[in-house]
Amino acid sequence: MGQITLNAVRKCFGEVDVIPSIDLRIEDGEFVVFVGPSGCGKSTLLRLIAGLEDVTSGGITIDGTDATELPPAKRGLAMVFQSYALYPHMSVRKNIAFPLKMAGMTPEQQEAKVQSAAKVLNLTNYLDRRPGQLSGGQRQRVAIGRAIVREPKAFLFDEPLSNLDAALRVNMRQEITELHQSLKTTMIYVTHDQVEAMTMADKIVVLNAGRIEQVGSPLTLYEHPANTFVAGFIGSPKMNLITGIEAEKLGATTIGVRPEHLDIVDSGGWSGVVGLSEHLGSDTFLKVGTKEVGTINVRAGGGITLRHGDAVRLAPRPGKVHRFGSDGKALS
Amino acid sequence: MATQHSRLAARFMVAPSVGFLFVWMIVPLVTTVYFSFLVYNLLHPERQGWAGFDNYYYFLTDRAFLTAVWHSVALVVGVLCITVVGGILLALLLNLPFWGQGVVRVLVIAPFFVMPTVSALVWKNMFMNPVNGMFAHIAKGLGLQPYDFLGHAPMLSIIGIVSWEWLPFATLILLTALQSLDSEQQEAAEMDGANWMNRFIYLTLPHLTRAITVVILIQTIFLLSIYAEIAVTTGGGPASTTITYLVAQQSLYGNDVGGASAGGIVAVILANIVAVFVMRMIGKNLDA
Ligand SMILES: Nc1ncnc2c1ncn2[C@@H]1O[C@H](COP(=O)(O)OP(=O)(O)O)[C@@H](O)[C@H]1O
Ligand SMILES: [Mg+2]
C-alpha cells in the first residue's frame, strides 16, 4: 500500500511562503512526477512528504492514517537524494544493509536482502567497494538499492538523474521505470526536466511558485494544457504562444500552437522567412520570423530542405490551436 | 609541464630551505649527543673527559626515571582522553544553531590564547589554592573541607589544567570537521530509521576520525614537552615530575650538562617510539 494525501499543506520558511496551499491525492502504485522550474518548491514538497521538513499548516495522510506529526523513520517511505547521500566510509553492502541493521534484522536476513537487491540492480560485483570507487550510475543504483531493501510504502526521488551524463540518464530513466513496473510501489519523482516527466509518469503534477498548475496524465497535459504556464512548460520544443490580432481573431488573449502542429503550406497561413534551420535527419527544427505572429518554432519532417533566408508559409493544423483567456487559463 | 625538467627545478628551488632546516635540526641534536658522552658538570669544571655510557646509566637507573616515564604517559593519555571526548561533546554543542553562537565560539577558543605560565598561575592561585582559591570557597560554602588539589593530587591537577588549555584546540578542529558533515547523509540515515545515537556512531564518528587523528598527533607532540605548567604549579617533586621536567632539573638544578644531555637523548628516543606507535595505530586514517 502507498496512498498519500495532502490536505491544504502549507510551508513557510520564515517570512517566505514557499508553498501557499497544496491539495493532492496520490494513488497506491502510481508513478507521480512533480515537475516545475528550479526553485518552485518541488524538493520542499517532497521533503514535507518525507517528514524531513515540518508543515506550517495542513495535513498529510499515508494509507489513511494521519502522518503529519510522524518522524521520517515512522512514515515507511524511502528517499533517493540528488547527491545520493551514500555513507562514504561503508562498503556498498553495508550501505544497502544499513536500514535493515537499524530495523534490527539478523545479519543473515540482511545479507539475503542485500543479495537480492544487488541482483536486481546489477551490483553483485561491487558489494565490497566503497561509494568513492563507483561511477555516478553505480552510486545511483546503490542509493536505489538502499531504498528498495526497506520495502517502503512509497519511493521518493529528488532529481536522481541530474548528476548523470545524458546517455546514462536515458538508461537509468528506463531502469527506474522498469523497477516501478516490477515492484508496483508508489513512486514520487521530482524533476525539472519535462522529458523525464513525460516519459516516466502515470501522473504529472506541474508546479509553479509553490502552486499546482495542473495534474494529469502526460497526454492530458500535452493535449489539454490548463493554462499558458503548462502549455509552455510541457512539450519540446516549446509551444508557440502568440498574442495580438491573430489571437483576438479566435476570441482569445493568447493562442498556443505546438511546433509539430504547424504545416508548411503553399498559400494562406502566415508568411515568414527561415531564420535558423536545424536538420536532425528525423526532424527539422525551423525558427521562422513572420509578419503576423513574430518568431515561431516549427518542427517539420526530416525531408525538408529549407535553409536560412528561404521564404515559407505556415498554417496551424485545424483543431490543434489552444486558446487562453486574459487570466492565462484555457478557454473551452 | 610536470616534466623531469620542472621537477628538477622544483628540487633546486626548495634545496636552500630544506638544507637550512636540516642544519637547524642536526646541529643541536649532534651537540646534545656529543655532550651526553662527556663528563660535563658546571660545578666541577676540573672533571673532564669521556664518560662513555655512564651518563645514560645514571639517568636510566635513577629512581626518579621510571616514575617520570609513568607521569609523562599519564599526562599525555589523560589530557588526550579529556580533550578528545570533551572536544567532541563541545563541538557537537557548538554546531547546533543557537542565539549568540559567534560570541560563545570565541569564548570557547579563548583559553588557547592564554600563555601556559599564566594559565597555570591563575589555576594555582585563583582556583586550586586551598585557602584563597575559588574551589576552596565553594567547598566552604557547601560546608565541606577544602581540598588541596596540587598538594594531594598534583598529577591529576596538572592534567586538569593542561586539558583546559588544549580543549579549545581539539574543539576547534573537531568543529570544523563537523561542519563539513553532509546534511543529506544525516537525513538519509534518519529516513533509514537511525536514531540520534546511531547516527553519531555510524556517521558522525567515522566522519570525525581524520580530525581526531590530527588532534591526537599534534597534541601528543606538544604534551610530551609540557614544562611550564609543572614548573609553576608544583615545581616537580616526586609526584609530578615528567621526563621533560626531569631533564630540565638535571641541567638546571644539578648543573650536570652531560647527564641532562643523556636524558634529553633518552627523551628523544622515547618520543620517537611513541610517534611510531601512534602513527602505526592511527596514521592510516590520514590517507583515506
Ligand atoms: N531551508 C530553507 N530555508 C529557507 N528557504 C528555503 C529552504 N529550503 C528551500 N528554500 C526556498 O524555497 C524555495 C523552493 O526550494 P526548493 O523546494 O528546493 O525548489 P526546487 O527543488 O523546486 O528547485 C526556494 O526559493 C528556496 O530558496
Ligand atoms: Mg530541488
Mean pLDDT of the residues in chain A:
94
Helix (H) / strand (E) containing B216: helix B205-224
Indicate if A187 and A266 belong to the same structural domain: no
Q: What is the largest CA-CA distance in chain B?
A: 80
The answer, for B193 touching chain A at a CB cutoff of 8 Å, is: yes
What are A79's strand-pairing partners? A156
Q: Is A331 within the bounds of a domain?
A: no
Query: Which of A198, A214, A205, A176 has the alpha carbon at shortest distance from A27?
Result: A205
Q: Is B243 within the bounds of a domain?
A: yes
The answer to whether the Cβ–Cβ distance between A73 and B193 falls below 8 Å is yes
Indicate if A16 and A158 belong to the same structural domain: yes
Indicate if A247 and A106 belong to the same structural domain: no
> How close is the Cα of A41 to the center of ligand 1, in Å?
6
CB atoms within 10 A of CB A171: 13
DSSP tag of B201: I
Nearest residue, CB atoms, B185 vs list A50, A51, A85: A85
Mean pLDDT within A209-234: 95
The interface predicted TM-score (ipTM) is 0.85
Q: Is B203 within the bounds of a domain?
A: yes
Indicate if A180 and A288 belong to the same structural domain: no
pLDDT of residue B2: 66
Range of the domain at A259: 241-324
Which ligand has its closest atom nearest to the C-alpha of A42?
A: 1
pLDDT of residue B6: 86
Q: Which long-range contacts (CB under 8 A, 24 or more apart) does A20-27 make?
A: A20/A210, A20/A211, A21/A58, A22/A58, A22/A210, A22/A211, A22/A212, A23/A212, A24/A205, A24/A212, A24/A215, A26/A2, A26/A154, A26/A186, A26/A188, A26/A203, A27/A3, A27/A186
Reply yes or no on whether the pLDDT at A43 is more than 80: yes
Residue in chain A lying closest to B203 (CA) = A87
Mean pLDDT within B15-29: 94
pLDDT of residue B288: 52
Q: Is B5 within the bounds of a domain?
A: no
Give the count of domains, chain B. Answer: 1
Give the count of domains, chain A. Answer: 2
Q: Is B95 within the bounds of a domain?
A: yes
Indicate if A110 and A149 belong to the same structural domain: yes
Does residue A131 have a cis peptide bond before it, meaning omega lies within 30 degrees of 0?
no
Give me the torsion for CA of A241, A243, A245, A247, rounded to 10°.
50
At A267-295, the pLDDT tens digits run: 888 999 999 999 999 999 999 999 889 99
The answer to whether the Cβ–Cβ distance between B187 and A146 falls below 8 Å is no
Which of A9, A10, A16, A18 is the best mutation target for the ligand 1 pocket, counting ligand atoms within 8 Å of the beta carbon and taking the most?
A18
> How close is the Cα of A42 to the center of ligand 2, in Å?
6
pLDDT of residue B287: 60
> How close is the Cα of A163 to the center of ligand 1, in Å?
19
CATH number at residue A143: 3.40.50.300
Which of A12, A43, A47 is the best mutation target for the ligand 1 pocket, counting ligand atoms within 8 Å of the beta carbon and taking the most?
A43
The answer, for B97 touching chain A at a CB cutoff of 8 Å, is: no
Please give, rounded to a whole number of angstroms, the shortest distance from the CA of A305 to a CA of chain B. 49
8 A C-beta contact, residue B191 and residue A76 = no
Indicate if A83 and A8 belong to the same structural domain: yes
pLDDT of residue B112: 85
Nearest residue, CB atoms, A79 vs list B191, B194, B288: B191
Interface test with A, best of B180, B185, B186, B191 (most A CBs within 10 A): B191
Mean pLDDT within A225-250: 93
pLDDT of residue B236: 83
Q: Is B170 within the bounds of a domain?
A: yes
Q: Which atom of ligand 1 is nearest to the CA of A53?
A: 1
8 A C-beta contact, residue A203 and residue A30 = yes
> How close is the Cα of A43 to the center of ligand 1, in Å?
7
CATH number at residue A293: 2.40.50.140
pLDDT of residue A141: 93
8 A C-beta contact, residue A3 and residue A63 = yes
At B130-152, the pLDDT tens digits run: 888 899 999 999 998 888 888 88
Reply yes or no on whether the pLDDT at A1 is more than 80: no
Distance between CA atoms of B275 and B224, rounded to whole angstroms? 11
The answer, for B184 touching chain A at a CB cutoff of 8 Å, is: yes
pTM: 0.83
Confidence band of A116 (pLDDT split at 50, 70, 90): very high
At A178-189, the pLDDT tens digits run: 999 999 999 999
Q: Which of A180, A204, A229 is the last residue of a domain?
A: A229
Mean pLDDT within A92-121: 95
Distance between CA atoms of A258 and A48, rounded to whole angstroms? 35
Reply yes or no on whether the pLDDT at A66 is more than 60: yes
> How close is the Cα of A284 to the center of ligand 1, in Å?
38
Burial class from Cβ neighbours inside 10 Å (0-12, 13-18, 19+) for residue A285 reads middle
> How close is the Cα of B283 to the center of ligand 2, in Å?
39
Q: Is A125 within the bounds of a domain?
A: yes
Q: Is A84 within the bounds of a domain?
A: yes
Mean pLDDT within A287-310: 91
Mean pLDDT within A67-83: 93
Reply yes or no on whether the pLDDT at B284 is more than 80: no
Mean pLDDT within B77-102: 93
Q: Which residues of B touch A103 (CB under 8 A)?
A: 193
Q: Which residues of B touch A86 (CB under 8 A)?
A: 185
At B177-196, the pLDDT tens digits run: 999 999 999 999 999 999 99
pLDDT-above-70 percentage for chain B:
97
Q: From chain A, which residues contact B within 8 Å (Cβ)?
A: 50-52, 71-73, 77-79, 81-83, 85-90, 98-99, 102-103, 146, 150
Indicate if A256 and A204 belong to the same structural domain: no
Mean pLDDT within B264-275: 90
Phi and psi torsions of A128, nearest 5°: -95, 5
Reply yes or no on whether the pLDDT at B1 is more than 60: no
The answer, for B188 touching chain A at a CB cutoff of 8 Å, is: yes
Q: Which of A177, A195, A229 is the last residue of a domain?
A: A229
Q: Which of A106-115, A167-176, B98-107 has the highest mean pLDDT?
A: A106-115
DSSP tag of A330: B
Q: Is B6 within the bounds of a domain?
A: no
CATH number at residue B238: 1.10.3720.10
Interface test with B, best of A53, A80, A81, A155 (most B CBs within 10 A): A81
Please give, rounded to a whole number of angstroms, the shortest distance from the CA of B192 to a CA of chain A. 5
The residues, ordered by sequence, that sit 6+ positions from A137 with a Cβ below 8 Å of its Cβ are A164, A168, A171, A172
The answer to whether the Cβ–Cβ distance between B190 and A146 falls below 8 Å is no
Distance between CA atoms of A78 and A155, rounded to whole angstroms? 5
Residue in chain A lying closest to B208 (CA) = A89
Q: Is A236 within the bounds of a domain?
A: no
Indicate if A197 and A307 belong to the same structural domain: no
Indicate if A192 and A266 belong to the same structural domain: no
Nearest residue, CB atoms, A72 vs list B185, B190, B288: B190
Distance between CA atoms of A265 and A322, rounded to whole angstroms? 20
Q: Which residue has the cell 599534534?
A: B218
The residues, ordered by sequence, that sit 6+ positions from B164 with a Cβ below 8 Å of its Cβ are B111, B119, B123
Q: Which of A197, A229, A261 is the last residue of a domain?
A: A229
Indicate if A28 and A152 belong to the same structural domain: yes
Indicate if A276 and A151 belong to the same structural domain: no
The answer to whether the Cβ–Cβ distance between A98 and B185 falls below 8 Å is no
Range of the domain at B201: 15-287
Please give, rounded to a whole number of angstroms, the shortest distance from the CA of B195 to a CA of chain A. 9
Confidence band of A312 (pLDDT split at 50, 70, 90): very high
Residues with CB under 6 A from ligand 1: A 13, 18, 36, 38-44
> How close is the Cα of A13 to the center of ligand 1, in Å?
8
pLDDT of residue A176: 94
Indicate if A182 and A279 belong to the same structural domain: no
Mean pLDDT of the residues in chain B:
90
pLDDT of residue B249: 87
Confidence band of A87 (pLDDT split at 50, 70, 90): very high
